[in-house]
Structure 1
């Protein structure tokens, strides 16, 4: 019995000594709220025109944490809620919010003209870019991102809506896909994850201007 109690004492002591060491482990992997897909072989990038006709790729946003969301402007709930959430988080991050980029890829190029897209994303403030490809380009980039979308007939003749994957891909400042955040995760969880990614790639110090 004495040996047993001595074993418990040593075990408790070992646990006590190990606890502060674990708390000081600076190599621990950060805990994300969203789904960590670091190293995924899909969602590697895009090459689509923006509302002005300029083709855009992830390289255009190097140095920023970029969120890519597929949706459409006639979306009644998921799309505006997601973009508003991103806008709120950008604002909550203060100066760091300038290093967060939102990218909205339409899955409804038939109705989402460049003019319509620009007016739509402008509603959510600065820091958003809308992309619109051809029907073929849209299908290709959706496949590359494993995004589902489909046209759903409406009640009125000739009307329709779109069904699509509800969530955003998050890329770090080096253009590597890191997370998939599902619709409904919440602004606080998104802010938490973006802060981790922003901290991993601090902004370069400004060089003094020559006089």
Structure 2
């Protein structure tokens, strides 16, 4: 049975909204012990194409922890900051990084060619992450993944990039959803000071907790 509705219910309870450069009010100050939101149930499977033109399915990574995020190939605000945090988390994991797969799913249904995800990967140095796959496909296929993971995507008039729900999902070695992490990437601009960890620190800590 699809766990998409369960993911949607959890995300709705969090009060998450579409964002590309703007973070939900509820994510702004849970304190130093921020551990994300606990999830449960099987992660919805999908099959897309990565930046090298390889067909990739989520189930291919059973036995490894999966870091799953959603990025826009034309975003020049939040997504590059997310990419930098992913690279930093990968470095923080050290030798354990070999037990982790990093996946990004494209939220841009217009700039959705293999060349688009390859260009973003190179521009933001995501190829430095071992096991990185930036996945794309036909818009219909992408929309199915967005729906399963409760990712809201909204066009911006006159812009090439899309507003979308931020954050990172953690999936364990058995393909079970475990955590959703979303922290401000530009905390200095918040009305309420963020006292929690950066995304890289939160991500690395939660990944380590899933490793044997």
The normalised TM-score by structure 1 is 0.70
Question: Which of the pair has the greater relative contact order for Cα pairs under 8 Å at 6+ separation?
Answer: 2
1-structure distance, mates of 2:73, 2:53: 18
Q: Report the counterpart of residue 195 of structure 1 in structure 2.
A: 208
Q: Does 1:148 pair with 2:152? A: yes
2:38 to 36, 39, 44: 36
- Are 2:170 and 2:177, in contact at CA under 8 Å, matched by a contact in 1? yes
- Are 1:72 and 1:162, in contact at CA under 8 Å, matched by a contact in 2? yes
Q: Report the counterpart of residue 84 of structure 1 in structure 2.
A: 84
Offset, 1:153:
0.9
Computing the radius of gyration over CA atoms, which structure comes out larger, 1 or 2?
1
1-structure distance, mates of 2:99, 2:46: 19
Q: Which ranges of structure 1 fall in alignment gaps of 5 or more residues?
A: 1-30, 200-211
Structure 2 CA distance for partners of 1:134 and 1:180, relative to 1, 3 Å: same
2-structure distance, mates of 1:53, 1:190: 28
Q: Which ranges of structure 2 fall in alignment gaps of 5 or more residues?
A: 1-32, 185-197
2-structure distance, mates of 1:83, 1:175: 23
Aligned pairs, number: 163
Q: Report the counterpart of residue 205 of structure 1 in structure 2.
A: none
Structure 2 CA distance for partners of 1:175 and 1:161, relative to 1, 3 Å: same
2-structure distance, mates of 1:180, 1:138: 20
Offset, 1:32:
7.2
Q: Deviations along 1:67-115, whole A, 9 cap, x unmatched?
A: 1111212112221211221211111111001212111111113224212
Q: Report the counterpart of residue 141 of structure 2 in structure 1.
A: 137
The normalised TM-score by structure 2 is 0.70
2-structure distance, mates of 1:88, 1:52: 23
The CA RMSD over aligned residues, in Å, is 1.9
